[in-house]
């Protein structure tokens, strides 16, 4: 009789935990993110905290500026629990605004700068945000929907606002008038970011009473299953997940000695928890990459630093590996490469390790789980092709459609429980009820668990392709095609088919222009069972991606 996975009594994964890593963490170590931030400032004081556009701010600098911003917000009448939207790429302004808002007791509503006006309107209204900090480049979008929102306070920042003196002024002028990157806009009573800081410097700040159960962030999901919803994440959710990640890295990261690269946007939950708060906890120098899509510029920035930690998604790592100059970067200090957000393809993991000498560690989580649920060990016992083991204090079940645990090795949906699970979807109790079963969060991801607790994602439940009664998982097909030497990127979807219900379609971006449809199919026939071989192959110049570079199969299907 097959051994059963467990509902928390027998945790199969603990036998595979690296030596010295505890099975649990103290989720209540800090009373709030404010206490955590204050401790980091006391501990690391004048050490570099953030770097961007050639400017370095210390922990004390960030604390001072965030304090000024918090005082400004309180002076404007914002009070504990009010929501403030933050819409900007990776700039020094982001940690100042975020920590300032938290110091004022507000809830931060992170927004993608590339949102359309319609998407902005939905998120601002759904969150009930009464204040926003937005980069001037996108302010014209806000202007078009401003009167249809509850916004009262608007703060506009320009890209180089934290670059001092004439240099910053010239950079902002060039961005606006030479590069034409700032469309004209007119927003009533908009306040310049630097003016807000100056005003706040003159005002007194009152420390609010904040508990770790209060909502710190509203993180909106990508909307892949319908209208975008705000996952309400408490101070405790974020702190617990940060503690879990810190416990997992153990002694591999040393306080006050690390240089971390942040290419994923800080408004995304992965970078928010791991890069924004995790790096802070270790006193790391956090190098913010404003535009990682500019790959040559990104590589040039990497060459300036003997960095030790980098995080990203599969497409980001793949993009770097396909830059000729990437091989000339100094990797001698690199010790942690962490991948999440989407499945890591075997060929990318192999090339990354071969090029950098550092293992690409795959982790897994969701917006609703703050985000980390599992990750691979960092002591050399990682298992490529898996998402690793549940983090300390995290419980995982693999269940069938009836919520019953499946035998070890069989496919089922991942259900998760732990202190990092969201409070619920903001003002959507019915949606929350759909994804929660008691303490268990239903991820919608299909996976298997081995006898020693390693978990392998098969695919999203909703993206499975049904071919003549057989289940085909896009991840598996994509992984096979990505290994072809002439393929740069691939996305696989199911399309309607009269004979087989659905057929497999592969959308491919070529690395070598000589690649043909028949070559792709022949390669697949050599690597996959016949019903998994794509019936259709479409070549594209690019694939639709999310703000962090995740290939959006949903948009491929809609097109």
Q: Any idea which of 259-273, 424-438, 467-481 has the lowest mean pLDDT?
A: 467-481
539 with 397, same domain? no
Tell me: the pLDDT tens digits for 154-172? 999 999 999 999 999 999 9
Q: What value does the mean pLDDT take over residues 54-69? A: 98
pLDDT at 5: 47
User: Six-digit token pair at 183?
Assistant: 């469309």
How is residue 52 written in tokens? 């961007």
In this predicted structure, what is the pLDDT of residue 488?
A: 97
Do 274 and 400 share a domain, yes or no? Answer: yes
What integer pLDDT is reported at residue 397 of this predicted model? 96
437 with 306, same domain?
Answer: yes
Predicted structure pTM score: 0.89
Of 500, 491, 503, the residue nearest 552 (C-alpha): 491
466 pLDDT band (50/70/90 cuts)?
confident
Residue 119's pLDDT is what?
86
Range of weakest confidence among 2-11, 273-282, 378-387, 419-428 = 2-11
pLDDT band for position 548 (cuts 50, 70, 90) = confident
**How many percent of the chain have pLDDT more than 70?**
97
Residue 223 confidence class, pLDDT cut points 50, 70, 90: very low
Q: How far apart are CA 523 and CA 135, in angstroms?
A: 46
Among 7-21, 313-327, 331-345, the minimum mean pLDDT is found in 7-21
Which residues are registered as beta bridge partners of 399? 405, 413
Q: Are residues 455 and 480 in the same domain?
A: no
Domain CATH code at residue 516: 3.30.300.30
Phi, then psi, of 38 in degrees rounded to 5 = -60, -40
Pairing mode, if any, of strands 487-497 and 455-460?
Answer: unpaired
CB 41 within 8 A of CB 60: yes
Residue 391: inside a domain, yes or no?
yes
Residue 226 banded pLDDT, cuts 50, 70, 90: low
Per residue in 114-153, pLDDT tens?
888 988 999 999 999 999 999 999 999 999 999 999 999 9
What's the CA gap between 375 and 391, in Å, rounded? 7
Q: Confirm whether 44 is domain-assigned.
A: no
Same-domain check for residues 448 and 477: no
> How far is 451 from 409, CA to CA, in rounded Å?
7
The conformation of residue 531, written as its DSSP 8-state character, comes to: G
Residue 205 has pLDDT above 60, yes or no: yes
The 3-state DSSP class for residue 357 equals coil
Cα dist from 360 to 45, 317, 332, 347, whole Å: 32, 9, 15, 11
Model confidence band, residue 222 (pLDDT cutoffs 50, 70, 90): low
Is the same domain home to 451 and 537?
Answer: no
Spatial distance between the Cα atoms of 465 and 553, rounded to a whole number of angstroms = 12
CATH of the domain at 179: 3.40.50.980
- The DSSP 8-state label assigned to residue 344 in this structure reads P
One domain for residues 199 and 335: no
- Mean pLDDT over each residue of the chain, to the nearest integer: 94
Question: In sequence order, what E strands does 369-451 have?
Answer: 372-375, 389-390, 395-399, 412-417, 424-425, 436-437, 440-449
How many domains are there within the chain? 3
Q: Do 273 and 419 belong together in one domain?
A: yes
Whether pLDDT at 225 is above 60: no
Residue 221 scores a pLDDT above 90: no
Place of tokens 């507000």: 106
Contact status, residue 270 vs residue 340, Cβ threshold 8 Å: yes
Using the predicted structure, report yes or no on whether residue 491 has a pLDDT greater than 80: yes
- Indicate whether 461 pLDDT > 80: no
User: Do residues 506 and 383 share a domain?
Assistant: no
Q: Decide: 105 and 78 in contact? Cβ < 8 Å.
A: no
Asked whether the beta carbons of 358 and 352 are under 8 A apart, the reply is yes
Question: Which tokens belong to 434?
Answer: 């759909």
**To which residue do tokens 């240099």 refer?**
167
From residue 310, give the alpha-carbon distance in Å to each of 37, 259, 263, 340, 356.
22, 9, 8, 12, 12
Domain extent, residue 481, equals 464-558
Residue 215, in any domain of the structure: no
């Amino acid at each position: 009789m097959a051994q059963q996975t467990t509902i928390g009594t027998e945790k199969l994964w603990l036998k595979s935990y690296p030596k010295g890593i505890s099975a649990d963490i103290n989720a209540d170590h800090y009373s709030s993110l404010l206490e955590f931030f204050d401790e980091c400032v006391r501990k690391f004081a004048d050490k570099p905290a953030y770097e961007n556009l050639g400017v370095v701010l210390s922990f004390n600098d960030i604390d001072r500026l965030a304090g000024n911003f918090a005082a400004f917000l309180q002076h404007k009448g914002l009070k504990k629990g009010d929501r403030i939207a933050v819409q900007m790429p990776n700039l020094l302004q982001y940690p100042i605004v975020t920590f300032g808002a938290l110091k004022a007791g507000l809830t931060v509503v992170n927004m993608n700068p590339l949102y359309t006006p319609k998407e902005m309107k939905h998120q601002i209204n759904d969150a009930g945000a009464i204040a926003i900090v937005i980069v001037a480049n996108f302010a014209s979008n806000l202007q078009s929907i401003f009167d249809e929102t509850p916004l009262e306070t608007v703060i506009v920042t320009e890209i180089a606002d934290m670059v001092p003196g004439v240099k910053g002024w010239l950079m902002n002028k060039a961005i606006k008038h030479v590069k034409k990157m700032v469309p004209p806009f007119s927003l009533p009573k908009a306040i310049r970011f630097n003016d807000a800081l100056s005003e706040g410097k003159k005002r007194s700040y009152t420390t609010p009473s904040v508990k770790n159960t209060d909502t710190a962030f509203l993180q909106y999901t990508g909307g892949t299953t319908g209208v975008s919803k705000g996952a309400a994440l408490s101070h405790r959710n974020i702190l617990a997940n940060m503690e879990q990640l810190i416990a997992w890295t153990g002694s591999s990261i040393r306080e006050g000695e690390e240089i971390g690269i942040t290419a994923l946007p800080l408004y995304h939950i992965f970078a928010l928890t791991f890069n924004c708060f995790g790096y802070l906890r270790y006193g790391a120098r956090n190098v913010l990459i404003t535009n990682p899509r500019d790959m040559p510029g990104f590589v040039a920035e990497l060459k300036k630093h003997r960095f030790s930690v980098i995080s990203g998604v599969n497409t980001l790592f793949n993009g770097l590996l396909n830059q000729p100059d990437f091989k000339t970067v100094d990797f001698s200090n690199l010790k942690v490469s962490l991948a999440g957000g989407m499945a890591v393809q075997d060929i990318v993991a192999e090339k990354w390790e071969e090029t950098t000498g550092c293992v690409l560690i795959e982790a897994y989580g969701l917006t609703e789980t703050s985000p980390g649920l599992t990750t691979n060990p960092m002591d050399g016992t990682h298992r490529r092709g898996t998402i690793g083991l549940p983090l300390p204090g995290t419980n995982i079940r693999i269940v069938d459609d009836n919520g019953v645990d499946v035998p070890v090795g069989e496919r089922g949906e991942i259900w998760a429980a732990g202190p990092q699970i969201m409070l619920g979807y903001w003002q959507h109790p019915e949606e929350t009820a759909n994804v929660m079963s008691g303490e268990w969060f239903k991820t919608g991801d299909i996976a298997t668990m081995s006898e020693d607790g390693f978990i392998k994602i098969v695919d999203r439940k909703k993206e499975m392709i049904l071919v003549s009664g057989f289940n085909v998982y896009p991840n598996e097909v994509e992984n096979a095609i990505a290994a072809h030497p002439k393929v740069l990127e691939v996305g696989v979807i199911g399309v309607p088919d009269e004979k087989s219900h659905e057929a497999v379609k592969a959308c491919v971006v070529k690395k070598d222009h000589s690649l043909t449809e028949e070559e792709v199919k022949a390669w697949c026939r050599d690597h996959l069972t016949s019903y998994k071989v794509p019936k259709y192959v479409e070549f594209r110049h690019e694939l639709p991606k999310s703000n962090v570079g995740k290939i959006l199969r949903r948009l491929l299907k809609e097109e």
